[in-house]
Amino acid sequence: MKKFLIVDDQSGWRDFNTNTVYDVLGSDVVIDTASSAKEGYEKLLESKGSPYEYLLTDMQMETDYAPKMAGEWLIEQVQNLTFCYGTKIIIISAAPRIRYIAKTYGVDCIPKSTALISKEPYKELIS
């Protein structure tokens, strides 16, 4: 059973990503959600005994981490948690430069414009 954390400040996108993961993998998954980078980080810390295999995160959420986007801050935190070394991070965002940001942090990304029209990127990254 794969374990996911989906972080996005918009409930519609949290629901969209949750439903897409279920569509791609079926019901044999555990999905938790968070509405901010801070809440996502707290859930990551709580998962220490059973870490998430996947983190799907938006970039543009709360502004507490300027000049970085909240999603960048969250990615940095995850990459510094030793128990999360196996967590695959996927940016799902409409933010400009997400491909550059993903490359900088060595993670994957799906632009929201692509996510809306195709499940293929999800299939490639989470199957």
Q: What is the CATH number of the domain that holds 62?
A: 3.40.50.2300
How many whole angstroms separate alpha carbon 32 and alpha carbon 2?
11
Domain count within the chain: 1
pLDDT at 107: 98
Specify the DSSP class assigned to residue 82. G
Note down the domain range covering 31.
Answer: 2-126
* pLDDT tens by residue, the chain, 127 residues: 999 999 999 999 999 999 999 999 999 999 999 999 999 999 999 999 999 999 999 999 999 999 999 999 999 999 999 999 999 999 999 998 999 999 999 999 999 999 999 999 999 999 8
Sheet holding 29-34, edge to edge: 29-34, 2-7, 54-57, 88-93, 108-111
pLDDT at 127: 84
Give the closest residue to 3 by CA, choosing from 62, 70, 72, 49.
Answer: 49
Give the closest residue to 8 by CA, choosing from 83, 108, 95.
Answer: 95
pLDDT at 110: 98
Reported pTM:
0.96
Token pair belonging to 42: 């707290």
